[in-house]
Structure 1
Amino acid sequence: MTDFAALADAAWPPLERAELGGWRLRFAGGVTKRANSAWAGGADDLDGLDPAASLEALAAVEHAYRERGLPPLFQLSGADGDARAQLIGRGYRAIDETLVLAASVSPSPPVSGVEIADAPSDEWIAVWWAVDGRGGTAELAIARRILTGVPALYAGLRRDGVLVSVARLALVGSWGGLYCVATLPKCRRRGFGERVVAAVLAAGAERGVTDAWLQVLARNAGAIALYERFGFAEVDRYSYLWVEICS
């Protein structure tokens, strides 16, 4: 069975990783929840912990995040029911339910008018950051390190010479992780997002990608409809658990 959480961890790498009490911790200066949350990682260690030891492990994870000036944040799927119950008991609440979608990738002709590169240009990052970015210069520098921490392909579409739509495909073995699909607000509803997705998937197939996955907020019906047109279907889902003040 494919471990999509592990694929995503590889495709969106934090600046620092650690393992503690059966949890896998990720730190990246608070830039994106993906790179700043703890996950079970399929570790059998969590199953073997008694309730007292499990609570002790949770407290240790919380301390590790606070030491770095970050709020404790946990990424949990439906299989992590015991940990979810313990966190809710500590005052945590679930936010940002996220779907994991996957699809097979078949070779297809290149999409005309879409540029493909092995590294993100400043212009590419500026478009993505204008849509999805949160923070200033320091956060943008961390985001760049995350993007370039694993081999990936970067698609960009121009309109009147200006880059307006982008997408990233992280290369993890035969899998491709679709990230950073973003179109400037003034250029939406013209099919640009669909074109950059088609182009980056086609480029991935040329590099040996046979399957792809992506993560999308469950409430983002428009994006889900776009991805379904490429054959993506739900294979998993998760949410983040967080609390402003932990005991």
Structure 2
Amino acid sequence: MPDLPRPGTRVSLRYRLPAGSVPPLNDVVGHLLEREPVVRVRTKTGDTVEISPADVVTVRTLTDVPVKASQIRAVEHAAALGWPGLHREWLDGWLLRASDGYTHRGNSAVPLDINASAVTLPAIRDWYARRGLTPWLAVPDRLVRLPRDLTDAEIHLESIVMVRPLPAEPAQEVTLTAEPDTAWLTFYERDVPVEVLTAVVDGAVAFGRIDDAAVGRAAVTPAHDGTRWVGVSAVRVAEDRRRRGHARTLCAALLEWGARSGATHAYVQVLADNAGAIALYESMGFTAQHRERYVDASKL
């Protein structure tokens, strides 16, 4: 049986029908629910198809919704410029980013040009080795073909990239600053230098805070096609202040700031297992577009 991706992934499966069936094979497209003991796939109509693992002939991983590669590239380009690290270099269609090890996004190579390929992997490994860093690759759906398919063990982190058009809904007043102040940094808690948080290329950044309840970051940057996107990230809500609408209020204010700053679309990158954040963004009009996986290039 071919290797199956993680449950939740949208797939196209070809499988064998019972002996004597005409035709002998069938196809199903939908979200993978289970891999064993029975392969279960939910289609867009809501039906569930159950298949014996031994009958699976081929499997192809798809984006979460039908989308062109150029649309994925646009979001990834804007997102890379919105978290570009402290040092960066273009290499054969890849953008290599380094931030002294702070954050995966700021220390990973992402394929943004249509000509980016796995041929560049040795040079990417060398670039990060010279800096004493792990050569992380940020691998979006469909933008590059790696030497082989990834296994679960090789995927370090998996994010769902969600998008929506702007303008945003009217927002309540939230404190917005061009740099994170002491209160913002204290609340954020993560050990990320200010210069990493404020770095953007060809864009602008804002930091939002709701008193001692929530903080978040937004960056407006261009895609390769000239469209401008706002990306919301670094959202934190105090544990004792959750489920009171603070995250929604904060994100709405950051989106409104993005629209005022020239963005026409918005994106968020959410860990695939963060069901609460996914539900929040869905309620704000975001839809899952594609996935991005972090892998160690030294193991490929």
Query: TM-score with structure 2 length normalisation?
Result: 0.67
Aligned in 2, Cα 1:84/1:123: closer, same or farther, shift over 3 Å? farther
Q: What's 1:62 paired with? A: 125
Q: Deviations over 1:164-203 (max 9, x none)?
A: 2012111125321111111122222222111111122223
Structure 1 segment 1-247 matched on structure 2, within 5 A = 1-2=70-71, 3-46=74-117, 54=119, 57-80=120-143, 82-83=145-146, 85=148, 93-106=154-167, 108-112=169-173, 114-128=174-188, 130=189, 133=190, 135=191, 140-141=192-193, 144-150=194-200, 151-158=204-211, 163-173=212-222, 174-242=228-296, 246=299
- For the pair shown, the structure with the greater C-alpha radius of gyration is 2
Paired residue for 2:39?
none
Q: Choose between structure 1 and 2 for higher RCO, CA contacts under 8 A separated by at least 6 residues.
A: 1
Asked if the contact 1:110–1:203 (Cα under 8 Å) also holds between the matched residues in 2, the reply is no
Which residue identity is paired with 1:94?
A: I
Q: Whose helix fraction is larger, Structure 1's or Structure 2's?
A: 1
May I ask how many residue pairs the two structures share in their alignment? 220
Matched residues in 2 for 1:16 and 1:75: separation?
16
Q: Is the contact between residue 16 and residue 28 of structure 1 (CA under 8 Å) also seen in structure 2?
A: yes
> Matches of 1:5 and 1:84 in 2, distance apart?
21
> Using the alignment, how far apart are the partners of 2:261 and 2:156 within structure 1?
36
Residues 76 and 84 in structure 1, CA contact (< 8 A), matched pair in contact too: no
Deviation string 1:96-132 (CA, Å, 9 cap, x unpaired) is 11111111122543404x212232212112212x2xx
CA contact (8 A) 1:95 1:240 kept: yes
Shift of 1:43: 3.8
Give unmatched runs, 5+ long, in structure 1: none
Determine if contact 1:169/1:177 at 8 Å carries over to the other structure. Answer: yes
SS of aligned partner of 1:31 = coil
Identity of counterpart residues, as a percentage? 30
Residues 157/240 of structure 1: CA separation in 2 closer, same or farther (3 Å cut): same
Give me the whole-angstrom Cα distance separating, in 1, the residues matched to 2:128 and 2:105.
14
Q: Distance in 1 between matches of 2:140 and 2:168?
A: 32
Q: How has the CA–CA distance of structure 1 residues 38 and 206 changed in structure 2, closer, same or farther, with 3 Å as cutoff?
A: closer
Any stretches of 5+ residues in structure 2 without a counterpart? 1-69, 223-227
TM-score by length of 1: 0.80
CA distance in 2, matches of 1:119, 1:208: 19
